[in-house]
Amino acid sequence: MCGRMNISDHEGIQWLLNQLGLNLPEEKFTPKYNVSPTAALWGLAVSRGALTLEPMQWGYIPPWAKEGVFKRPLFNARSETIWEKPSFKNLIRRYRAIVPANGFYEWARKGNEKDANYICLKDSPAMALGAIVQVHTDGYLQCCLITTEANGEMQAIHNRQPVVIKPENMEEWLTNDDPELLNRCMEPRENGLFDIQKISGFVNNTKHDGPECLR
């Protein structure tokens, strides 16, 4: 799964956006070291036929759901079942997004204890996380991150990891509706890609923010 992200380095996020010729002015960027579900973030999507950067909320409840069916918003969707699940199948076909992030957090369980880890890319300052998006009845966008089976290096921490889209595949992910291509984009990335660091439990509390989350 993916339930927490670091989106704090504007320069790194802008590096990723440069791949698509997009810009996020620094004055519109708020560094967030401990992004959790329901938080506001920036996401890439197609709007009126053009690639754009849009404000989004992380997590959604399907508009058809009766009150009380979902106790909390959906913030992760499994790639293996995304084409069949009623909550996701229409969105993956037409309404995909990318969430630019500097990295994400995952916890390794050891008995009753959980060790926090920070995962980022070794050779890039930001990663493109695959997502689906819906329009809330009030008009704003909501997104749900897609997860896939963990690759070998992540297996020691968790059996799931977020879908990380290759920079060269970002535009296709957003604009090409071919299921075969989209499934390839959602496959686990190769081993050796991630820099995995054990960190303190400061990040465990969703109210905590700041560089201390990475220590």
Domains of the chain: residue spans and CATH = 5-214 (3.90.1680.10)
| The pLDDT of residue 66 | 82
From CA 75, how far away is CA 168, in angstroms rounded? 25
What are the phi and psi torsion angles at 213 (to 5°)?
-65, -25
CA 9 to each of CA 12, 26, 32, 61, 125: distance values in angstroms, whole numbers, following the listed order: 5, 10, 9, 30, 8
Q: Are 54 and 46 in contact (CB under 8 A)?
A: no
Burial class of residue 151 (count of CB atoms within 10 Å of its CB; 0-12, 13-18, 19+): middle
What are the phi and psi torsion angles at 204 (to 5°)?
-60, -35
Q: Is the pTM of this model over 0.85?
A: yes
Q: Are 53 and 43 in contact (CB under 8 A)?
A: yes
| The pLDDT of residue 112 | 84
3-state class of 16 per DSSP? Answer: helix
From CA 157, how far away is CA 109, in angstroms rounded? 7
Residue 80 is given by DSSP the state: T
Digit-by-digit pLDDT tens for the chain (215 residues) are 799 999 999 999 999 999 999 999 999 999 999 999 999 999 999 988 899 999 999 999 998 888 777 888 999 999 999 999 999 999 999 999 999 999 999 999 888 889 999 999 999 999 999 999 999 989 999 999 999 999 999 999 999 999 999 999 999 999 999 999 999 999 999 999 999 999 999 999 999 999 999 99
Beta strands 127-135 and 141-149: pairing type?
Answer: antiparallel
Token output for 177: 């509706």
From CA 144, how far away is CA 99, in angstroms rounded? 9
| The pLDDT of residue 109 | 87
Q: DSSP states of 127-180 as a string?
A: EEEEEEEEE-TTS-EEEEEEEEE--TTTTTT-SEEE-EE-GGGHHHHHH---HH
